[in-house]
Structure 1
């Protein structure tokens, strides 16, 4: 499906903004996953199994990938921002450029992880992205995703889209995945976040 030019331009502005913000972002985010995310990551790693292959979309500073690798799985670290890849390379972690909107994801993977990254996918593109993720999973593979809770949308340099829990859960299921669990937490700036664990049915 052809992606509208305005969507591509908007995505490019967000990526370029992160190029400038990556170092500060690395400084302000936690270096270990939040307990809600950690529980979902542990379940995904268990589903993947020892030596299982996991795709992390938008790995940013890479701390979630570090956590997963410590559980005995192999992580394909990807991000659309070169500066994040450079930060990880500086501490010996190899990553690849990947834009979840425009690029193919490869696979099949035992799990896909996308924490706090699909908030940058335009609302009218989320179904295509989730369907792409579902196709990249093996049967029985796991999907972990966190989304900011709400109804709003921001423009400018950092385009973001909020989703209510039930609305996003419906999009996950519409993409052909089965929801296994959900958790809610309050993050920085008193913002709510939903973490979902789903599976591609066997």
Structure 2
């Protein structure tokens, strides 16, 4: 399935908005993951293996990758927003430009990480993106993803898609992934988030 011009336009608008907002985002985001986030990342590494190779899509300011690297894994940092990669480069961290909708992901990886990223993938592109991610994992590899909990989607500067837990769990299953854990939490501004850990069957 190809990416429609309408979906591509939504994605480009979101990327453009992040180009303008990257430095403000860097200033407000936690530079060290909190305990709950660290626990999720440690579970990912437990599956990937401490010598594992992890693809992070939507690295943003790169602090989750910093934490993962402190656990011994290698992280391929990627983002569709050039400004985020420049901010990481200023800290001596190398990232690559990667568009989840249009680019090949490479692999096989021991794990893929996509936190606060798939909320910007248009709903009718989600199955295609999940199949691409599943295909980039080695058998037994893990996928950690977080999404906004709710219904529908909002347009504007940032195109945001909301998912209910059971609906997204079904999408993971359709992509050939096995869900092994999911968590719910309330974040900044009372936003509801769901985090899913799934594996590609060995």
Smaller-chain TM-score bracket:
over 0.9
Conservation of the 8 A alpha-carbon contact between 1:181 and 1:197: yes
Aligned residues: 202
Alpha-carbon displacement from aligned partner over 1:71-115 (angstroms, at most 9, x marks no partner): 100000000000000000000000000000110100000000000
Residue 183 of structure 1 deviates from its aligned partner by 0.8
Residue 23 of structure 1 deviates from its aligned partner by 0.3
Are 1:80 and 2:80 counterparts?
A: yes
Distance of 1:37 and 1:136 partners within structure 2: 23
Residue 35 of structure 1 deviates from its aligned partner by 2.9
Residue 40 of structure 1 deviates from its aligned partner by 1.8
* 1:138 paired residue number: 138
Task: Structure 2 unaligned segments of length 5 or more: list them.
Answer: none
Q: Give TM-score, length-normalised by structure 1.
A: 0.98
SS class of match (1:145): strand
Residue 37 of structure 1 deviates from its aligned partner by 2.6
SS class of match (1:162): strand
* 1:189 paired residue number: 189
Conservation of the 8 A alpha-carbon contact between 1:36 and 1:185: no
Distance of 2:43 and 2:20 partners within structure 1: 34
SS class of match (2:44): helix
SS class of match (2:24): helix
Residue 171 of structure 1 deviates from its aligned partner by 0.6
Are 1:162 and 2:155 counterparts?
A: no
Query: Superposition pairs for residues 1-202 of structure 1, below 5 Å?
Result: 1-202=1-202
Task: Structure 1 unaligned segments of length 5 or more: list them.
Answer: none
Distance of 1:170 and 1:34 partners within structure 2: 28
SS class of match (2:3): coil
Distance of 1:130 and 1:201 partners within structure 2: 15
Distance of 1:68 and 1:109 partners within structure 2: 14
Distance of 1:143 and 1:9 partners within structure 2: 27
Alpha-carbon displacement from aligned partner over 1:125-175 (angstroms, at most 9, x marks no partner): 100000000000000000000001000311011001010111111111110
Distance of 1:194 and 1:170 partners within structure 2: 14
Q: Give TM-score, length-normalised by structure 2.
A: 0.98
Please list every run of at least 4 consecutive aligned residues from structure 1 whose deviation after the TM superposition is greater than 6 angstroms: none
Residue 182 of structure 1 deviates from its aligned partner by 0.7
Residue 29 of structure 1 deviates from its aligned partner by 1.1
